[in-house]
Amino acid sequence: MRWRPSILPRLLLLVVQFVALCSIPGAFSSRLVTLDTIDIFTTHEWFSSKPTVFFRCSGDNQTNLPDVKEANLIYTFKGEESWQPLTELPEKKCKRCGLYEEDMFRNDVFDEWELCSSDFKDGKYIHFKEGQFNATLLCPNCTVSAGDAAAHHPSSEVETKKTSVAVIIIVSVLASVIIVLALFGGYKYWLRKKRERDQLRFLKLFEEGDDMDDELGLSNEL
């Protein structure tokens, strides 16, 4: 094997890329928010008894909750319903979201609030508004992500630890490979130098031998 120094930078680049990929898992996950449970305490309708409840974040489309018709009933969802997810959150920015009831003239507001990734504890966030509604929102990726892998979230802590272990293993393996290659290259180099030196010494020996032979006139006997 010929030792090519150009392998080294390429390997180092690979290590850096691996570390970058592994240490910020949140940067590549989408923070989709789904509705888990909802319980409305009131309907604002005066005439028709079946309200049309919808969720909307500023900048998003309106999401109708077609099943939510009765007050004081807990609706539980699987997260896979046709209208899910409710929205997607950016990493470091909140969204202004609300729960509304469609009305002929002006939509009634259950509540409007700032929905943030950091509100989710272990991927779960409960929004309760006195006399209006109580909703549980889920966002598994909201807690996993962001450098603030908060120390008080056991699940994300475990996640971070797993990632660190993976990074350490990968870096160790690559470092070992680099060291082995370097040692091997060094050994090859040393071997070549040694051979050259030996050859030189050998030649010198011959020359000296020739000189001596000439001086002593022993060449005929050898």
**Residues within the interface to ligand NAG (CB under 6 A):** 28-32, 37, 60-61, 126, 128, 134, 136, 140-141
Tokens 């939509």 belong to which residue? 107
Choose between 31 and 95: whose C-beta lies nearer to ligand NAG: 31
For the CB of residue 70, give the shortest distance to ligand NAG in the complex, in Å.
16
For the CB of residue 31, give the shortest distance to ligand NAG in the complex, in Å.
6
The 10 Å Cβ neighbour count of residue 44 is 16
CB 28 within 8 A of CB 137: no
When CB distances to ligand NAG are compared, the closest residue is 29
Q: How far apart are CA 159 and CA 145, in angstroms?
A: 10
Instruction: Please give the helix or strand (H or E) that residue 109 lies within, else none.
Output: strand 108-115
For the CB of residue 144, give the shortest distance to ligand NAG in the complex, in Å.
8
For the CB of residue 24, give the shortest distance to ligand NAG in the complex, in Å.
12
Q: CA distances (Å), 220 to each of 49, 179, 203, 207, 214, in order?
A: 127, 54, 20, 16, 10
Instruction: Please give the helix or strand (H or E) that residue 154 lies within, else none.
Output: helix 154-216
Choose between 126 and 200: whose C-beta lies nearer to ligand NAG: 126
Choose between 3 and 41: whose C-beta lies nearer to ligand NAG: 41
Choose between 74 and 183: whose C-beta lies nearer to ligand NAG: 74
